[in-house]
Structure 1
Amino acid sequence: MADIEREAMEYDVVIVGAGPAGLSAAIRLKQLDADLDVVVLEKGSEVGAHILSGAVLDPCGLDKLMPDWKDKGAPLNVQVKKDNFYMLGEAGEIRIPNWPMPPLMDNHHNYIVSMGNVCRWMAEQAEELGVEIFPGMACSELVYREDGSVKGVVAGVFGLEADGSIGEGTEPGMELHGKYVFISEGVRGSLAKEIIGKYDLQAGKEPQKFGLGMKEIWEIDPAKHKEGTVTHTMGWPLGGNAGGGSFIYHMENNQIFIGFVVHLNYKNPHLFPYMEFQRLKHHPMVAELLEGGKRVAYGARAISEGGFQSMPKMTFPGGALLGCSVGMVNVPRIKGNHNAMLSGMAAAEAAVAAIKDGRSGDELPDYETEVRTGAIGKDLKKVRNVKPIWSKWGLTASLMLGGLDMWTNTLGFSFFGTLGHGKNDADATQPADKHKVIDYPKPDGKLSFDRLTNVSFAMTNHEESQPCHLQLADPDVPVNVNLAKYAEPAQRYCPAGVYEIVEEEGKDPRFVINFQNCVHCKTCDIKDPSQNITWVTPQGGDGPNYPNM
């Protein structure tokens, strides 16, 4: 659609994505120079609609951005009071004591939050400063200058025909140009993926690694609710099949956040991450907590897990990648929101300095330097070997050697140096005939649920006549390659039931994409063993509508 004539709007800085990174950048820009024209474009129907995180928030980013956040009414209401770690077996659990853990693992100064609600509040603060925020505006294309730098984005395209062509009702959208463009789409965003490829930003870095995080909100029996309690588990039900674990956070109003993370470098294509999550809830410790309660929300998203050694170059001609578009999650802490906020502030400071110098459309090297050598880099460098140790030698080694490495890193050295990650998550998938099929119990409809029932609690919706936003490079690969060799794992790794193989008597198998179910987790773009699926933005406002995730 590059040849379509569109209206254009000019800004000093264009920000794609109203998550913690993008909103922090917007706020910091206006704090530094109130006269700057700043716009934030958000593909969700409202700010927060597509935000899903655990979340236990380290407030260090918010402290730096708005030291008076408490007075401004930030929705950080539940401070962590108790921190539990358990190793699960099928029938029981062992409490892991807190005292051997490095200080960075302590949660007692942190807050249990809904990051969706935190972002809604941050958007209010940004708008009070004069930031323009446009929800329901998916950014579907990049706009380049003649010199190859990023000039802006195309946003607000609606009403394309199912085949992608222009119809009578098509709204072509508009171009939003900036002196600098910040990409803060979250994990595996389509524009960030294009930029990383175009400018070869991953060159010389380890491949990015990912996990799949699934989360439910439950209202539980008040007698069982312990506001401020944080619990993390490892071990069962995944065992040696995959890395990962669960979290259970006791929020206010007798609600808990319960979630499950599966590292996507698993080998067995028969693994069914969603069903592993559902099985977890039947563990005696978890089932006792949930019985008598009810699930009120569900969602899923990918998590960047590569850490320090996997962060691509963050700057490109005309802009910068922020937050999870880079990958700033501290894996053992299961925290990245604080780093996302700090990255937004650092990018804003670099852009303001450049604009004051009369620059535009070039790179912002001061941002890259600050991220790698400042608070974010120091946070991630200390834990850089935990994930590769787990991947190479398993959970027990990760607990022992990874814990030792975190301790020594607090003293400024590591016995391991910096370990690599090896294969990307797609290449880690092995042929199905090398692994046994895993038998999962049927959901009981009380503690565990089938995918389609749970997806209804994500309130996701996509207008059905638009082009499918899950694009196949080759439509024959799912059946001819992935089904034949890998038992088509898309049927299982998708936490929303988007993909299915339909087999009818007398007919060849068919690969069906139910894109209306998609919750924008991006797992298919990451884990497909043939790398045949590309996730792109659907039209603005479509997707999940998370209330309190």
Structure 2
Amino acid sequence: MEYDVVIVGAGPAGLSTACRLRQLNPEVSVCVVEKGSEVGAHILSGAVFETTALNELFPDWKEKGAPLHTEVTGDDIYMLTGAEKALKIPGLFVPKTMHNHGNYIISLGNLCRWLAEQAEALGVEIFPGFAASEILFNDDGSVKGIATGDMGVSAGGEQKDSYMPGMELHAKYTVFSEGCRGQLGKQLIAKFKLDEGKEPQHYGIGIKELWTIPPEQHQQGLVVHTAGWPLSESGSAGGSFLYHIEDNQVVVGLITDLSYSNPHVSPFDEFQRYKHHPVIAKYLTGGARVSYGARAIVKGGLQSQPKMSFPGGLLVGDNAGTLNFAKIKGTHTAMKSGMIGAEVIAEALAGNRQSDDLTSYAAAYKASWAWKELHTQRNFGPAQHKWGNLLGSAYAFIDINIFNGKLPWTLSDPTPDYAQLKPAADCPKIVYPKPDGKLSFDKLSSVFLSNTNHEEDQPCHLQLKDKDIPIQVNLAKFDEPAQRYCPAGVYEVIDNPDGSKRFQINAQNCVHCKTCDIKDPAQNITWVAPEGTGGPNYPNM
């Protein structure tokens, strides 16, 4: 199938690209492919939303019924100094990036569903349930488009009765907006050396639950952020959030930086015990979980941002690392990166150009408020890694609040997250409390709430470069951390009858968070897209 533009991923960046293209030229043919069963099925975010990009894309978004229902009414920020103790930080001493006046607490999945409706009304074709699995190239090496994965292939590689071959989608330009650690984006960065001269990308793992709580404990519009305990006990960095949305519901989550060094750390279990802190438990006690999910987030900032153009296409959004970690927000910057991409592509198509390297994107992006925002706050993440949450936040206060990000240096963070792990024998073991079934829960009951499902008889989408490394190397040196960094119970070390060990992959549980692809110390695990429609089906996440 031939299009002017093919977009991979129906997240905020991809859909904004599609909408802007059709706004600029209604004659441009645009197709969006999305691996989730529907638009929004794989979307997971906090999310406090800044409307800057939406105001530009659809100035009349209120009249069009955009699902922004809860405006932020207050910010509470705590440093948790222990399992029972907390220090509330006065607003005067909080980095201004954490002030949320004028922002909205939203379901990003629902916003994407609404953006998809706007895109379709503009004439964009959207194909949910089709996973882009391969990049297609022209003879000159430029990107030609993508191919979607075959469906109905057994675990052994045979064609089943339900077999349906993938489609080739050809385009003059292809936009990759797969989100954090996109499978195809990762290949493009390597092929075209887009990260040459850049620092390694950095990541966190965000784990989130949606709760319904008693009405008397609900304060619609309240935003609560914390740092410190429990991650501080294991020497890890990160922070948490609890947002009061409408209908007596809250979203609660923990982001663990994947730069942690102790291989005994389990981000899932850190999140479970965090909910028992009195600052958080006072809202959740007596409530009920509605949904659960997990997703890696990209947090390296400008220092880690790759070149975003290559012959035949662009990287936009979190695929290119546009998230502003100082704000814990990336939707507005992702949308803007896609809108800029649409403008550059529309100009190229108007000049009858195709498949070239849209080098003008770099200048247009650098001239935007999105780049300027990331530049102002470029030192926040490295400061957190270098000095920890408390001193890092103090530095950020001075850098951002006092000097407005204009200090004449840029901090460096040159070690990849996976290379931070120390041998298990050199690190204290962590004994996590058993879940109580009221505030804390086990992995399998949590995955059940994510509505995750995959066709069971299909090739495993979690591929090992060397099947012996998990036991012979990772278990021996790091007590195989995949057992703990995965928030869905995908990876297990099993005892064989003869006393040996084997590595088991429960791919059916995978919530597509990509943490294994990022944190495996041997970089031995490659996440590839499973059969279309597989994975979580998040409602209101």
Give the drift of 1:509.
0.3
Residue-by-residue CA offset, 1:205-240 (whole Å, 9 max, x unaligned): 010000000000000000010000000000111115
Counterpart of 1:6? none
Match of 1:207 in 2: 200
Structure 1, unaligned runs of 5 or more: 1-8
- 1:18 matched to 2:6? The reply is no
Q: Which of 161, 169, 178 is the matching residue for 1:176?
A: 169
CA contact (8 A) 2:310 2:356 kept: yes
* Distance (whole Å) between structure 2 residues aligned to residue 94 and residue 527 of structure 1: 32
CA distance, structure 2, for counterparts of residue 283 and residue 310 of structure 1: 34
Q: Which residue does the alignment assign to 1:406? A: 400
Q: Deviations over 1:443-492 (max 9, x none)?
A: 01111000001000000001111100000000000000000000000000
* Aligned partner of residue 259 in structure 1, secondary structure: strand
Q: State TM-score, norm by structure 1.
A: 0.97
Taking the aligned partners of 2:363 and 2:320, their CA distance within structure 1 comes to: 14
Which residue number corresponds to residue 300 of structure 2? 306
Among 414, 423, 440, which residue is 1:431 paired with? Answer: 423
Residue 380 (structure 2) aligns with: 386
Q: Quick one: which of 526, 529, 538 aligns to 1:546?
A: 538
Q: Residue in 2 aligned with 1:355?
A: 349
5 Å matches for 1:63-212? 63-88=55-80, 89-166=82-159, 169-212=162-205
CA distance in 2, matches of 1:322, 1:166: 35
Does the 8 Å CA contact 1:234/1:244 hold for their aligned counterparts?
Answer: yes
1:409, distance to aligned residue in structure 2 (A):
4.5
Distance in 1 separating the partners of 2:354 and 2:159: 34
Q: Which amino acid aligns with 1:191?
A: L
Report the Cα distance in structure 2 between the residues aligned to 1:393 and 1:165, rounded to whole angstroms.
53
How many angstroms does 1:507 deviate by?
3.1
The aligned counterpart of 2:451 is 459
Asked whether the equivalents of residues 382 and 409 of structure 1 are also in contact (C-alpha less than 8 Å), the reply is: no
> Paired residue for 1:331, among 325, 329, 342?
325
What is the deviation of 1:301?
0.2
Give 2:261's aligned residue.
267
2 CA distance for matches of 1:501 and 1:304?
Answer: 28
Which of 235, 243, 248 in structure 1 is aligned with 2:242?
A: 248
How many Å apart are 1:331 and its aligned residue? 1.0
d(CA) in 2 for partners of 1:204, 1:318: 22
Give the conservation status (yes or no) of the 8 Å contact 1:408–1:414.
no
Q: Match for 1:319 among 309, 313, 320?
A: 313
1:476-491 → structure 2 map (5 Å cutoff): 476-491=468-483
Instruction: Give identity over the alignment, percent.
Output: 55
Residue type at the aligned position of 1:275: D
Identify the range of structure 1 (269-278 vs 234-243) with the bigger mean alpha-carbon deviation: 234-243
> Is residue 277 from structure 1 mapped to residue 271 from structure 2 by the alignment?
yes
Query: CA-to-partner distance for each residue in 1:245-292, whole Å, 9 max, x for gaps?
Result: 110000000000000000000000000110000000111121121111
Q: Could you tell me how far apart the structure 1 residues matched to 2:279 and 2:160 are?
A: 55
SS at match of 2:455: coil
Aligned match of 1:4? none
Structure 2 residue 363 is matched with structure 1 residue 372: no
Question: What are the Cα deviations for residues 39-75 of structure 1, in whole angstroms up to 9, with x where unaligned?
Answer: 0000000000000000000000100100000000000
1:370 deviates by 2.2
TM-score by length of 2: 0.98
Larger mean Cα displacement after TM superposition, 56-65 or 279-288: 279-288
Shift of 1:330: 1.2
SS of residue paired to 2:282: helix
* Residue 420 of structure 1, CA deviation: 1.2
Pairwise CA RMSD:
1.1
The number of residues matched between the two structures is 539
The answer to whether the 8 A contact 1:152-1:178 is kept is: yes
Q: 1:222 aligns with which of 206, 215, 222?
A: 215
The aligned residue for residue 518 of structure 2 is 526
* 8 Å Cα contact 1:312-1:326 kept in structure 2: yes
* Structure 1 position 535 matched with structure 2 position 524: no
1:103 Cα deviation after fit: 3.5
Q: Provide the C-alpha distance between the structure 1 equivalents of 2:181 and 2:210, rounded to a whole number of angstroms.
A: 25
**In the alignment, which of 29, 44, 50 is matched to residue 37 of structure 1?**
29
The equivalent residue for 1:3 is none
CA contact (8 A) 2:7 2:33 kept: yes
Q: Provide structure 2 residue ranges, at least 5 long, that are not aligned to the other structure.
A: none
Q: Deviations over 1:289-348 (max 9, x none)?
A: 111100000000000010111100100110000100011111121000000110110000
Pick the aligned partner of 2:42 from 50, 56, 60. Answer: 50
Asked whether the equivalents of residues 205 and 258 of structure 2 are also in contact (C-alpha less than 8 Å), the reply is yes
CA change 1:165–1:141 in 2 (3 A) is farther
Deviates more, 1:229-238 or 1:395-404: 395-404
- C-alpha displacement of 1:156: 4.7
After the TM superposition, which of the residue ranges 488-497 and 170-179 deviates more from structure 2? 170-179
CA contact (8 A) 2:96 2:400 kept: no
Kindly provide the amino acid, as one letter, of the partner of residue 46 in structure 1: E
SS, match of residue 302 in structure 1: strand
Do the aligned residues in 1 keep the contact of 2:68 with 2:105 (CA within 8 Å)?
yes
- 2:340–2:361: 8 Å Cα contact kept in structure 1? yes
Q: Which residue of 2 aligns with 1:293?
A: 287
**Contact residue 95 and residue 396 of structure 2 kept, 8 A:** no
